[in-house]
Structure 1
Amino acid sequence: MKTKDNLRNFDSLPNAASVDVQVVAALCGCSVSTAWDRSRRGALPKPRKIGGSARWNVGELRAVLTGAHA
């Protein structure tokens, strides 16, 4: 799926789905470099490498964005 589609359909993606840094940045209302920085500082979940690309788990992002993470 493309970034724009993932962003538009984020609410309907399963928790097990993964999205790229462009989607993470758009969801957080920040730049790509800020999204990476927030991930390094622990404010966002760490990405997983999938086929050489960094991807964030949708369920983990939802927990952070809704304030439900511990």
Structure 2
Amino acid sequence: MIKIPETGYLRLPQIVGNPKTEPPTPGLIPISKSAWWAGVKEGRYPKAIKLGPRTTVWRVEDIRALIEKTGGENG
């Protein structure tokens, strides 16, 4: 299990993982970036927060709630 903080923010690679890093970063929710963004647009996944022009994050609390709601599987 991937350890996430109690509070704070997560960026997209922390949520869906990044297979291109060395070693590959596992995701909390094993879906593609495009599937994640489609889910955000449809309201299935939490709304993003823009911290700057190139910085988008999600609240840890929202991601934890999503994982608990879906039983650890993608929604």
**TM-score higher than 0.5 here?**
yes
Q: Give the counterpart letter for 1:64 in structure 2.
A: L
Could you tell me how far apart the structure 1 residues matched to 2:34 and 2:9 are? 19
> Match of 1:28, SS?
coil
Higher helix share: 1
Q: Post-superposition shift, 1:9?
A: 3.1
Could you tell me how far apart the structure 2 residues matched to 1:18 and 1:24 are? 10
Q: Larger Rg: 1 or 2?
A: 2
Percent of counterpart pairs with the same letter? Answer: 22
Q: Give the counterpart letter for 1:42 in structure 2.
A: G
**Which consecutive unaligned segments of at least 5 residues does structure 1 have?**
1-6
RMSD of Structure 2 on Structure 1 (CA) = 2.0
Is 1:24 matched up with 2:15? yes
**Which consecutive unaligned segments of at least 5 residues does structure 2 have?**
17-26, 71-75
